[in-house]
Structure formats: structure tokens, C-alpha cells
Amino acid sequence: DLGPQGAVKDGAIDPAKDVAHLIHPYTNLDAHASRGPVVIERGEGAYVFDSNGKRYLEGMSALWCASLGFSERRLVDAATRQLATLPYYHVFNHRSHPAAIQLASRLTAIAPEGLNHVLFANSGSEANDTAIKLAWYYNNALGRPKKKKIISRWGAYHGVTIGAGSLTGVPAMHADFDLPIANVVHAEMPSWYHGARKGESREAFAARMLSSFEALVEREGPETIAAFIAEPVNGSGGGVILPPPGYFEGIQRLLRKHDILLIADEVITGFGRTGRMWGCDHFGIRPDMMTVAKALSSAYMPISGTLVSDAIHDAMKAESRKIGAFAHGVTYSAHPVCAAVANETLKIYEERDIVGHVARMSPRFAERLAALREHPLVGETRGIGLLGAVEIARDKAERKPFDAASGVGPYIQARAMEHGVIVRAIRDCVAVCPPLIVDEAQIDELFDGLRSALDDAREWVLEKGLA
């Protein structure tokens, strides 16, 4: 049998061919030539196996997405059933199909109040690009052509396409790509650990972030601002940043005052990740639009959605009466196989009470995460539900990071793999985001592996004189 696993072992799949032909996203392409790929061949529950047969607990759900793990048979069956019935059709120009109708109604039924309409695409980036276009379309429909700026935040991650990549607030993702585009501005990320002044309480910090946001709105001119976009809990850009107390309440007061739309990016936080259905549910967020992807299909098929309020949808319909068809949409919008897998995923969430399961697992996760605070390399731990991060510090008391070139984060990530767990280094932060199906023993396994990796890193920084 030369299935993928056998093929790698027999040299029929040659890692050198990977190096020669495959461009890897978010990879140092120069280093890849000498390092070569880690080839992952198969998955089972919360675990994946590499081409040497080594097993890893996937502590990141791959890219914060494989919520039901890597071997959910029902999703495979849903895909093959749909492939055999109608492998492809579209929803352009009044066409529809059963999987699309079911998914639109199932998703809007569990969405935050008032988000009754959804437009599907393939990736989180496209969902956010769509949200930008809809914010513009909405204001054009209302006869407010000047109200076009979108406020995002430094440290936010909203994707990589030209629009979403502009919203993303990570300078390295703008540099050399000529981003951001016009009409995108960035506010401060309210990260207490990184941004608080000495002795500043979380409440005082939140108040300062809100005045800074208000000053930005005044400076730009509220009449020019269409929307504000935020992840309820920031994920991969800043490293799991939770909002300080009162932050979203204050932001929403200001947005309402100036008639600015609120877009919630729930691409990571949606579908139970935080212990409630939506990240929005923790912070009283009432979005006008919401974007979802990743766990919408447990990542088994690529699908994303942009949900909109009745008010936005009414304006879109009114525009159709004026100018004709709504001229936006991708070929694979509501792709039947992706929609069928998403439908089955949402059914499983409901039947197995995945949100309740995460809520029940959260105390163990929180306890094991918080215990790492005692470690000499850890400046802070942050978490909610089954989403967490450990902030690595050279100087805990002063909250000072290691030199960016020291590579402590990547070292921890590599050591964790040696210990059989996959975590993710984001600069000075190590993130964890395991499949939502993990049990307490697996949570322990994840944090045991991470702690061992931190211990290795402690020795390593001492040896190298980095501490």
C-alpha cells in the first residue's frame, strides 16, 4: 500500500520535492530549503501523526480550526453523500440548493440576535473582505458616500487578502505587500500586559484605551467612518488578548453615537471555543455584521460566512430596486459539499452539546494554564474557554520580552513537538487552542508537554546567556 504514509517511507513522496515546488505560507522560505517539511500524514481524534509515525496532541487544532479533531466520520460521510448527490452547484442569480438553504437557516438561528442573513465564501479573509465591501455598499445605499473608513486594531488578525490584510494590524504582514489600502485605520489593541503603564489597573487602562479610541474617531471625523472591526478575543495577531473590563461597552456607546457599524470577527472565537457559542456573548457585543469560518466546518472543508443585520440587508435590497442585481459573490459561495459538512458540524455541536463540554473543560484548562505563571520564563497567562496563551518574559517583574532575534518562542514550539504536543509561537507568546473535543486527561497532556518545553527553554536561555 503506497497510500500517503507508505509513500513517504518508501521515498515515493520526496521531501526534496516539497522544498523544490511547494511555497509554504508564513514560513521562512530560505530556511525551509535546509530544514525541509514536517509531513503530517494522518489524524485520529485530537492527535495527528507525522511521516515517522510520531504522534502529537494537536494543541492548536491545526490553525485554530479543527474543532472536532481529525477523524470525525460523520463529516466524511456528509461530504461523500453530498459529492454523490450534487457535487457542485451555485447560488447566483436566484439558484439555490438544499445544503445552502439548511446552512443559512441553521447558522442564523444560532447567531447573535438580529443577524438573520448570511453570504458564504471560502475563507475568513474573504468573509472580512466581504464585510468591508458591505459596509461601503450600505453607506452608498444610504447616500453617505463619504462614510467609508474602517477602523481595525494594531495586533488584530483578519486575514491576508488585500482588504482583510489591510485590516490585519501586524506591520510585518503589510511590509513589502504595499498594505494597508486607503480608508483603513488602526486603533490601539487594548492589551493590558503590553500597554499598561506601571501601576495602572485594568479599569484605568480600559478607560485610557477608550479615550484614545474616541480621539482617533474625532481626528478621522466620525462622518467618514463606516465601521469598526474587532475579534471579541484577539487570536493569532496579538496572542490571545482579552478585552479589559468595560472596553466593548464603551466602544459600542461611541459607535452608536456616530452611527458606525460594528463587525465582530468570530473566525476563531465562534462555535463554542470560549465556552459560550460566541465570543460576543461574554462582552455584551451586539454586532451589525459577524464573520465566521474555521470551526464552521471543523475545517474539514473550506467555508466562511458574513452575517448581516436586517437593517443592512434592507439597504441591500433597496439598492437592488434602484440599481439591479447585488453584484458580489464567489463561484464557491455556499459550495454544496462545504455547506453539507458545515451543516453536519453544527448538528454535532448541538447533539453533543459542544458548548457545554467546553464550559465543563474550561476550569481544568484555566487551572493548568494559570499554574504556568510560576514558571521563571512566564510573564503572564491569558485564557478563556479552550483558548489560551503564555507570555514569555526575560524579566517578569518589568514585563520585558527577550530580544526578538533570540528565538525563544520558536525554541519552545520545537521542544513541545519533541514532547509530543503542538503549540504555536507568536513572537513572545505561545498559544494553545486544542480541539473542542478534548477531555481532562488530554488537557493535562497538553500542559505537561508545554511545561517540559518551558523547562527546556529555561535551560537553553541560561546556557546561551540570554536571561
The contact set with ligand PLP (CB under 6 A) reads 63-64, 123-125, 128, 157-159, 231, 235-236, 265, 267-268, 293
Q: Which residues pair with 117 in a beta bridge?
A: 308
157 vs 300, which CB is nearer to ligand PLP?
Answer: 157
Quick check: helix, strand or coil at residue 41?
strand
301 vs 454, which CB is nearer to ligand PLP?
Answer: 301
**The three grid cell numbers given for residue 62, joined into one nine-digit string:** 491545526
124 vs 250, which CB is nearer to ligand PLP?
Answer: 124
305 vs 401, which CB is nearer to ligand PLP?
Answer: 305
Least distance between ligand PLP and beta carbon 19 (Å): 24
Q: Closest by alpha carbon to 190, among 137, 245, 141?
A: 245
Sheet strands (E) in 165-286: 184-187, 225-230, 261-265
Least distance between ligand PLP and beta carbon 209 (Å): 19
Give me the residue whose beta carbon is nearest to ligand PLP.
124
Phi-psi region of 54 (alpha: psi -120 to 50; beta: other; left: phi over 0): beta
Quick check: helix, strand or coil at residue 221?
coil
CA distance 225 to 290: 18
H/E element, 183: none
- Sign for the CA dihedral angle at 451, 457, 461, 463 comes to positive
268 vs 366, which CB is nearer to ligand PLP?
Answer: 268
185 vs 295, which CB is nearer to ligand PLP?
Answer: 295
Least distance between ligand PLP and beta carbon 235 (Å): 5
- Sign for the CA dihedral angle at 154, 159, 165, 171 comes to positive
Whether the upstream peptide bond of residue 180 has omega within 30° of 0, thus cis, is yes
Least distance between ligand PLP and beta carbon 201 (Å): 28
CA distance 408 to 467: 11
Least distance between ligand PLP and beta carbon 256 (Å): 24
Least distance between ligand PLP and beta carbon 291 (Å): 7
The CA-based dihedral angle spanning residues 277, 280, 283, 289, taken in that order and rounded to the nearest 10 degrees: -160
51 vs 130, which CB is nearer to ligand PLP?
Answer: 130
Phi-psi region of 15 (alpha: psi -120 to 50; beta: other; left: phi over 0): alpha
Distances in whole angstroms, Cα of residue 193 to Cα of each of 243, 382, 390: 11, 10, 11
CA distance 138 to 280: 23
Least distance between ligand PLP and beta carbon 64 (Å): 6
Q: Which residues pair with 43 in a beta bridge?
A: 48
Least distance between ligand PLP and beta carbon 282 (Å): 16
First and final C-alpha spacing in the chain: 50
CA distance 283 to 190: 14
51 vs 67, which CB is nearer to ligand PLP?
Answer: 67
CA distance 235 to 388: 9
Least distance between ligand PLP and beta carbon 75 (Å): 18
Sheet strands (E) in 259-399: 261-265, 289-292, 304-309, 378-384, 387-392
124 vs 336, which CB is nearer to ligand PLP?
Answer: 124
Least distance between ligand PLP and beta carbon 295 (Å): 11
117 vs 158, which CB is nearer to ligand PLP?
Answer: 158
48 vs 293, which CB is nearer to ligand PLP?
Answer: 293
- Break the chain down into helix, strand, coil percent, rounded to 5: 45, 15, 40
157 vs 278, which CB is nearer to ligand PLP?
Answer: 157
Least distance between ligand PLP and beta carbon 164 (Å): 6
Q: Could you tell me if 150 and 135 are in contact, meaning their C-beta atoms sit under 8 angstroms apart?
A: yes
Half-sphere exposure of 256 (CA within 13 A, CB side): 9
Least distance between ligand PLP and beta carbon 296 (Å): 10
